[in-house]
Structure 1
Amino acid sequence: MDRQQALRNSLPPMAAPVIPPPRGRGRASFTPVSWDSYFDSQRRISVGNNVFNIYEKGREGPILFLIHGGGFSALSWALFSKAITDIVPCRCIALDLRGHGDTVTEDDSDLSAETLSRDIGDVLQALYPGDSCPPVILVGHSLGGAVAVHAASRNLIPSLAGLVVIDVVEGTALDSLTTMEALVRGRPGRFLSVENAIEWSFRSGHIKNPESACVSMIGQLRVIPAGEQLPGTSADMGHTVNTTGSISEDAEDNAESPPTAAMPGYTWRIDLLKTQPFWTGWFTGLSDLFLGCPVPKLLLLAGMDRLDKDLTIGQMQGKFQMVVLPKSGHAVQEDQPVKVAEALAIFMVRNKVARAIATFSPTFPGC
């Protein structure tokens, strides 16, 4: 795979033609699925005037604090959370970052690495005041991986026991910024239904696992209020997000019906183009910060082509563990949640952060 193809694979997909959903049994494959099929609970955590939305799974063991990528939501971790808690005793806490999902803050537009990483520490402190926090492994995908590295390097998590970064590398990420704007603009601007949004995500390769798309796409959308004019984007995709959060479960419907005043449709929860001033700050210096974190580290990639020079040298020197899942798209934890869960379980057991359940036999799939 050449360098340009690697960059395209690591970014949001361009708009793709959407085939009308099949009727009968096939149509059900794009039906939204509730978060409670995968998580135990949903909670709102107040930090000052900010209210952060989290989903939880598991009640014992170390905490896996899960941080999604830009434009995604905490629901991106649904299938993974169910899989990992079946393998090792642990507690998954999946957070909606500010500006995403059901989290609402005083300034949803401040998505700097400093602010996002501080939010991680604040939420954990609110959940576990003082010194009561169990061992924490920060797990971040894409932008979330950068946020996890920044939080770890700033010592914002006193009980930090591990750092896992999924499919983000400084060199590749910075190189991709030259094409990011065009790719974001190439996405559909409006969906007439949740089902159509789920179908688009699957058919375009945004999320390759249809089961994950059915639960996670809900958190990426908001309802378009009557009268709101969307900025110029690519053509509508025959699709239908809340102004401040994700969609309710009963918001799916007739994909063939045109938008009306009562059903204005759906668009993206966050306008990624407005985050452009922060893109360079998310990733600059990331490799050195990652390598400098004094805790066990795991880098999980969708392809070896993602590695930059600094991480290639660091990997050869044994400074972190690495696993490659080449059949994944960029949303690795959604495309192959069981494989990612197995890789993290092995990482946790090897570093004595968690014990294996009796039926789990750890053998590291080294690369």
Structure 2
Amino acid sequence: MSTLEKHLHLGRLPPRPAVPGGGGQSSSKMRMGPGRKRDFSPVPWSQYFESMEDVVVENENGKETFRIYKSGSEGPVLLLLHGGGHSALSWAVFNSAIINRIQCRTVALDLRSHGETKVRNPEDLSAETMSKDVGNVVEAMYGDLPPPIMLIGHSMGGAIAVHTAASNLVPSLLGLCMIDVVEGTAMDALNSMQNFLRSRPKTFKSIENAIEWSVKSGQIRNLESARVSMVGQVKQCEDAASPEVPKAIVEGIIEEEEEEEEEEEDYEGRGSLNKRKKEDDTETKKEHLYTWRIELSKTEKYWDGWFRGLSNLFLSCSTPKLLLLAGVDRLDKDLTIGQMQGKFQMQVLPQCGHAVHEDAPDKVAEAVATFLIRHRFTEPIGGFQCVFPGC
């Protein structure tokens, strides 16, 4: 595995050519004939989830608000935890797929500092704090008698799911699923992660532009998922170029800068050159209206805590476990031994990028549904027939 591929475990896929269709629900939409333009416009969450709400949690820091998206009314709860830099919306297409296969309820959570969740100390992204958040949200939603819950986490969210399970913060835990996160690979990637984060675009001129970049760079290989997911990853820039600032004010600032520049001109040629440069910079700023919701580079001090010891922690959880990987080469020594000993169920979903549940939502939904049916945690619906994998 290349060094860049190891970067996947913080929730980011290094730039590479996108695979049309990605094996997900939108494959037909991605295969467009010559001359047909793909639609990069955003899609609302309401096309995939039944409801959205804010869960208020009271702790030593006061009141904090966690955004969740929900579907279903009966069966076990699948509590979905996204990867670093992503949001609950990364589960949107998977949500539609799983709800149509088995009797279950889904709750997709925006983790602290991500999406629309608002907390008093957003800089604290330690595994301990984030796992406590998950437990607090479960308690706030269901009280002392929560329904059976299966934790499903991707990348960073997978690590947080394991820490939550190992700390017994969900008393009704039914099962545990990690998606494309392995301690060995993740730890190897940390040293060069900052360079990768610096290589990404800092700003986008529109949400459509951000969606287009995510697909063409290969971060999300499924256009359908990217159109709903990227909305949770970017936000409007908070500066003078923001649409909230009246155009007259922006123009006034530009005019003042140009007047000062003209007064400082030593000669006409130099002044014209500076003025053109100023105008070019201003136009660039006016176009760059969106940026990342969270600066992952500032969370570096927590990366080690998310992943170190994760394999043994995962293996120590007594609940039934499922590991979904984009490639078998991601397995480290501890998980290889554990898998040979039958301590967890593993399934490899090839031809996917790191965002497995976005690239191939149908395949992930089928794997999760089969796991739950195999353990008799739920029943199939809509004629779904599971095929038990050999591994």
Shared topology, TM-score over 0.5? Answer: yes
**Aligned with 1:302 (options 326, 333, 336):** 326
Q: Does 1:365 align with 2:376?
A: no
> How far off is 1:360 after superposition?
1.3
In structure 2, the CA distance between the partners of 1:26 and 1:192, relative to structure 1 (3 Å rule), is: farther
126, 130, 140: which one aligns with 1:126: 140
1:205 counterpart residue number: 218
Query: Relative to 1, partners in 2 of residues 1:162 and 1:201: Cα closer, same or farther, differing over 3 Å?
Result: same
Find the counterpart in structure 2 of residue 4 from structure 1. Answer: 3
Distance 1:151 1:228 in 2: 41
The C-alpha deviation readout for 1:162-203, integer Å capped at 9, x for no partner, is 000000001110011112111111100000000010000000
Residue type of the alignment partner of 1:150: H
Indicate the residue corresponding to 1:185 in structure 2: 198
User: Equivalent residue for 1:107?
Assistant: 121
Q: 2:108 aligns with which of 94, 117, 122?
A: 94
Tell me which moved more, 57-66 or 9-18.
Answer: 9-18
CA distance in 2, matches of 1:195, 1:120: 32
Shift of 1:226: 1.9
Alpha carbons of structure 1 residues 27 and 193: separation in structure 2 relative to 1, 3 Å:
farther
> In 1, distance between residues paired with 2:184 and 2:177?
18
Query: Residue in 2 aligned with 1:195?
Result: 208
Hey, what's the Cα distance between the residues in 2 that align with 1:347 and 1:17?
32
| Pairwise CA distance, 1:161 | 0.4
Distance 1:188 1:5 in 2: 17
After TM superposition, the score normalised by the length of structure 2 is: 0.81
Corresponding residue of 1:29: 39
How do 1:163-178 residues align onto structure 2 when only pairs under 5 Å count? 163-178=176-191
Aligned residue pairs, count:
333
Which of the residues 212, 220, 225 maps onto 2:238? Answer: 225
Question: Which residue number corresponds to residue 143 of structure 1?
Answer: 156
Please state how far the C-alpha of 1:29 moved relative to its aligned partner.
1.6
1:61 Cα deviation from its structure 2 partner: 0.5
The residue matched to 2:203 in structure 1 has which SS? coil
- State the percentage of identical aligned residues: 53
TM-score by length of 1: 0.86
Q: 1:189 to 1:320 in 2, by over 3 A?
A: same
In the alignment, is the contact (CA less than 8 A) between 2:15 and 2:218 conserved in 1?
A: no
- Deviation of 1:13 after TM superposition, in Å, equals 3.9
Structure 1 26/109 Cα, relative in aligned 2: closer, same or farther at 3 Å? farther
CA contact (8 A) 1:323 1:365 kept: yes
Deviations along 1:115-144, one digit per CA (max 9) or x if unpaired, are: 00000000010000111x110000000000
Structure 1: runs of 5+ lacking an equivalent: 230-256
Residue 227 of structure 2 aligns with an amino acid whose one-letter code is C
Contact 2:182/2:330 (8 A) holds in 1: yes
Higher helix proportion (structure 1 or 2): 2
Note if contact 1:33-1:215 (Cα within 8 Å) is conserved in structure 2.
Answer: yes
- Confirm or deny: 8 A CA contact 1:63 1:93 kept in the other structure: yes
Q: Distance in 1 between matches of 2:83 and 2:148?
A: 23
Task: Give the whole-Å Cα distance in 2 for the aligned partners of 1:172 and 1:28.
Answer: 34
Determine which structure has greater relative contact order: mean sequence separation of CA pairs < 8 Å that are 6+ residues apart, divided by chain length.
2
The match for 2:92 among 65, 78, 82 is 78
The alpha carbon displacement at 1:259 in A equals 5.8
In 1, Cα distance between the equivalents of 2:367 and 2:126? 30
